[in-house]
Structures are given as C-alpha cells and as structure tokens.
C-alpha cells in the first residue's frame, strides 16, 4: 500500500549513464502534479540534476555498468562489485510500498533486482535489447511476466515475444530519439569550415584513451578537409584528463552560455567543448560523429548522422556484433588505429552522396521518435 498522499509518487530506477539521461528526460516531461524520485543504481546520477531528487545508495563499479568491454563483469567482481548488491537490494526492500508506481529503465538488471525484492506491477522501458540480434531468453520472459504490468520495447518482434505469453508490451517508437538532450550552447555560431564533426568519446574508463585516438586521427586529415570539431563531455569526465591524453591545452575563455566548457587546442586543431546536456546542439551542426559512446551513437544515427567507431581489442565482440546487426553500414567500424580512423573520416567527408546514403540507413534502422508520449500517457493513466 503506497503512503497516503495527494500526489502520485513515482520511483524511476536506471542503471547507467545513458539510462539516467533517458530517464531524466522523461521525468522533465512528466506532469508537475506528480512527485518523482530517481534511483540511479550505478554512478552519481548527475543526469537527474535539476529534474528530480536522487535517492538510494551510490554504487561505483570499475566498468560503470558498461558490458561492451571484455572481462568487465570479472573486473567488477574482482574489485568488490558484489558488495554493491546488498545495499541496493536492502534499499529496494525498504522503500517497497512507498511509491505508487515504479519505472525501470535500462536492461534486465533493474527488473531482476525489483523482482527479487518483491516488486510487481513494474513499468519497464527496455532500452538495451535492439531486437536485431538476440531476443529475450526464457528466463527473461518469465521474470518480465512475473514483475511487469507494462513494457515498452525497441522493436515489434521483442514486444511480440512478450505479448505471446500475456505481457502488456508494445513498441511505440524509439524513446532514445525523444530524449536527445539540448542545452544552452550555440554550435552554429562556432561553425567556420565546410564540415563539422562531433566527438563522442564516451563516459567511462576508456574515454581519455578514445579521445586521444580520435584527435590523432583528425590530425592526419588533409587541411582542405579539416572540419570544425565539437566535443560532448559526459558528466563525470574530467576535461583536464582529456587534454593531457591528447596533447591539447585548455583555453580559459568561456562564453556566457551555461553549457560552454571552452576550447582545447594545440595551435592547429581546435576542439569546441560543451556539456553532454547540449549534445543535441552539436549534432544539429554535424556532418559526422566519431563515437565510442552507447546511447549517443544510437541517437546520432537516428538523426541521420553517420558514425565512425573503432573496434577496441578490449571490446566484447558478441555485444558489438549484436549492435552492428542493427546499425549496419550506418556505423563505420575500423581498427583502433589513427590511420584507419583518419582514412574513414577522410573518405566520408569527401563523399557527400555516401554520407547521405548512410544517413538514410541510420534513420531507417534506429526508428522514429514518439515513444515518450505513449510512455507518459501510460504512466499517468488511472
């Protein structure tokens, strides 16, 4: 029984940086007549700043929940990751019944944690499975049926596999395309060249390493192709670490724009930096992205912007292949070598027709926006 209140109380549970950002974007569009708190299972939950209060224990994992890297689960366990489980389950058990509705956003981790602590009638937004490769396992379908009253999937075949066993599931569009963040940053005013590229080096342990390789690839471009370069800095990433890794210096001059983080430069190459919350501003001005990110890659492709990604030797190949089955040629994959990345960048900047082809493919593969309206309508229905 929920605590008596004149306002419906919601708990949003998410388990990763991208998932936090999606959840926070939905929270901001919820009716002001409801009360919302968020429980980010991993990390500080910075994406919720200004959206709603954050509750629950803070858990830090070596992988930050990123399972695209080989051995990430083993490293998490070896560095004490299992110690984060009891506090999470204790919290969920303690607040059970305190909320009118509980919304889980992410993969099955949140669903399973809630099921184990006695939650039923969850609202589940699966932003992990694409439907292009692996479907739900028998165990996953069973857990979803036991604990969820409504599920939103990223594809019709995922939803159909659940409706076949009696789960209220549907695909109403790709919620990632409804939740692209925009902020206070004028990227258009900074455009000077024929092309523009946005760097999305990610939000986790390999971010500085990835950024350094992206910069080295840009340095190999012919001057005639050199683009304006933008960088979306995810929350928790230190600009100083990026600058050091890539051999760049940070400018101390900032504009009055709240999402402006200044510039990095080596005297020849200049990188315009903005907070990740202004990523949509950067993408709107970009011809390409160089991306090692997760959710942000999907959003760029869905906007019709091709992505260049390098395959790191530490990447978990099975997950990478699953993603590539969905993305197809829209995400150009090359070895983690500056020459290979630079050649791919040069080719796409030189061939506008190929960029357009890949852009069309990306929009087709990722799907349309529109899910957020259906999700909110379901969440606030009596």
Query: Which pLDDT value is given to residue 83?
Result: 62
Structure tokens at 325: 């089955």
Give the C-alpha distances (Å, rounded to integers) separating 42 from 19, 30, 58, 63, 354: 10, 23, 7, 10, 39
- Supply 342's token pair: 């630079």
Instruction: Over range 293-302, report the average pLDDT.
Output: 93
d(CA 295, CA 273): 19
Q: Judge whether residue 1 has pLDDT over 60.
A: no
- Provide the percentage of residues in the chain whose pLDDT is more than 70: 90
First to last CA, the chain: 16
**Is 2 part of any domain?**
no
Q: How far apart are CA 276 and CA 233, in angstroms?
A: 5
Structural domain contains residue 163:
yes
How many CA atoms are closer than 13 Å to the CA of 267, on its beta-carbon side? Answer: 1
Residues 354 and 375 placed together within one structural domain of the fold = no
Percentage of the chain lying above the pLDDT 90 cut: 76
| For residues 59-88, average pLDDT | 55
β 148-152/122-126 pair status: parallel
Any idea which of 193-202, 232-241, 274-283 has the lowest mean pLDDT? 232-241
Report how many domains make up the chain. Answer: 2
Q: Using one digit for the tens of pLDDT, what is the confidence trace for 332-356? A: 999 999 999 999 999 999 999 999 9
Same domain for 295 and 325, yes or no, is: yes
Same domain, 226 and 293: yes
State residue 77's pLDDT score. 41
DSSP run (H or E) holding 234: none
346 and 357 housed in the same domain: yes
Q: Which of 304, 310, 264, 269 is nearest to 287 (CA)?
A: 304
Residue 164 and residue 219 in one domain: no
Over range 159-184, report the average pLDDT.
95
Q: How many CA atoms lie within 13 A of 292 on its CB side?
A: 29
Are the CB atoms for 311 and 329 separated by under 8 Å? no
pTM of the model: 0.83
Q: Give yes or no for a contact between 348 and 355, defined as CB atoms under 8 angstroms apart.
A: yes
At residue 166, the pLDDT reads 97
pLDDT-derived band of residue 320, with 50, 70 and 90 as boundaries? confident
pLDDT of 252 reads 76
Please, where are the H alpha helices in the chain? 17-29, 72-78, 85-95, 108-116, 138-147, 156-163, 207-219, 239-246, 279-283, 295-302, 317-327, 338-350, 352-366, 371-380
- pLDDT tens digits for range 21-36: 999 999 999 999 999 9
Q: What gap in Å lies between CA 266 and CA 248, rounded to an integer?
A: 5
The average pLDDT across 49-63 equals 81
Is 71's pLDDT higher than 90? no
pLDDT digits (tens, 9 = 90+) for 105-146: 999 999 999 999 999 999 999 998 988 888 999 999 999 999
Q: What is the per-residue pLDDT for 79?
A: 42
Statement to judge: residues 71 and 142 lie in one domain: yes
Q: What is the pLDDT of residue 323?
A: 87
Indicate if 213 and 328 belong to the same structural domain: yes
Q: How far apart are CA 135 and CA 128, in angstroms?
A: 11
Give the pLDDT confidence score for residue 294 in this predicted structure. Answer: 87
pLDDT digits (tens, 9 = 90+) for 179-218: 999 999 999 999 999 999 999 998 777 899 999 999 999 9
- Would residue 274 count as lying in a domain? yes
Q: Are residues 132 and 249 in the same domain?
A: no
Rounded CA gap, 72 and 66, in Å? 7
Q: How confident is the model at residue 61 (pLDDT cuts 50, 70, 90)?
A: low
In a domain, 157, yes or no: yes
**Which of the two residues, 320 and 227, has the higher pLDDT score?**
227
Lowest model confidence (mean pLDDT) among 66-70, 107-111, 366-370: 66-70
Assess if residue 297 is contained within a domain.
Answer: yes
- Cross-strand pairs, 250: 264
In a domain, 16, yes or no: yes
Confidence check: pLDDT of 72 > 50: no
Q: Chain-centre distance of CA 169, in angstroms?
A: 22
**Encoded tokens for 137:** 């396992």
Q: What is the mean pLDDT of the chain?
A: 90
Residues spanned by the domain of 244: 188-366
Q: Specify the CATH number for the domain of residue 99.
A: 3.40.50.2000
Nearest to 119 by CA among 281, 2, 293, 202: 2
Residue 179 in domain: no
> For residue 198, what pLDDT is reported?
98
Let me know whether 208 and 150 are in one domain: no
CA–CA separation, 275 vs 232, rounded Å? 6
> Do 146 and 59 reside in the same domain of the chain?
yes
CB 290 within 8 A of CB 345: yes
pLDDT score, position 316 = 66
Mean pLDDT across the stretch 88-103?
Answer: 96
Q: Distance of CA 238 to CAs 139, 242, 245, 278, 308, Å?
A: 40, 7, 11, 17, 23
What confidence score (pLDDT) does residue 322 get? 84
Asked whether residue 220 is assigned to any structural domain, the reply reads yes
Q: How many helices (H) and strands (E) does the chain have?
A: 14, 14
Does 334 lie in the same domain as 234? yes
Residues 223 and 290 in one domain: yes
């Amino acid at each position: 029984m929920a605590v008596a209140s004149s306002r419906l109380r919601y708990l949003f549970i998410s388990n990763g940086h991208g998932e936090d950002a999606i959840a926070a974007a939905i929270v901001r569009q919820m009716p002001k007549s409801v009360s919302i708190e968020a429980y980010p299972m991993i990390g500080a939950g910075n994406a919720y700043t200004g959206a709603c209060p954050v509750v629950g224990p803070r858990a830090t994992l070596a992988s930050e929940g990123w399972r695209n890297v080989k051995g990430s689960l083993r490293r998490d366990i070896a560095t004490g990751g299992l110690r984060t489980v009891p506090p999470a389950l204790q919290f969920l058990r303690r607040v059970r019944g305190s909320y009118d509705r509980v919304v889980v956003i992410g993969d099955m981790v949140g669903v399973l944690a809630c099921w184990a602590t006695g939650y039923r009638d969850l609202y589940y937004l699966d932003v992990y499975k694409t439907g292009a490769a692996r479907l739900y396992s028998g165990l996953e379908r069973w857990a979803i049926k036991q604990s969820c009253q409504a599920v939103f999937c990223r594809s019709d075949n995922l939803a159909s596999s659940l409706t076949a066993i009696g789960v209220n599931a549907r695909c109403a569009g790709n919620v990632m395309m409804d939740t692209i963040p925009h902020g206070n940053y004028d990227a258009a005013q900074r455009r000077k060249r024929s092309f523009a590229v946005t760097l999305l080096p990610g939000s986790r342990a390999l971010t500085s390493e990835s950024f350094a390789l992206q910069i080295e690839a840009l340095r190999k471009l012919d001057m005639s192709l050199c683009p304006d370069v933008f960088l979306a800095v995810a929350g928790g990433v230190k600009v100083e670490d990026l600058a050091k890794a890539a051999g760049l210096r940070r400018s101390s001059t900032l504009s009055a724009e709240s999402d402006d983080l200044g510039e990095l430069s080596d005297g020849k190459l200049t990188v315009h930096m903005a907070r990740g919350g202004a990523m949509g501003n950067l993408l709107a001005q970009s011809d390409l992205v160089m991306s090692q990110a997760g959710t942000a890659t999907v959003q760029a492709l869905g906007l019709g912007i091709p992505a260049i990604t390098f395959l790191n030797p530490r990447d978990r190949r099975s997950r990478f292949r699953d993603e590539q089955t969905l993305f197809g040629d829209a995400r150009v994959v090359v070895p983690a070598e500056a020459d290979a990345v630079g050649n791919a960048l040069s080719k796409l900047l030189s061939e506008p027709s190929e960029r357009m082809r890949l852009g069309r493919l990306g929009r087709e593969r990722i799907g349309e926006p529109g899910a957020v309206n259906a999700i909110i309508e379901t969440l606030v229905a009596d």
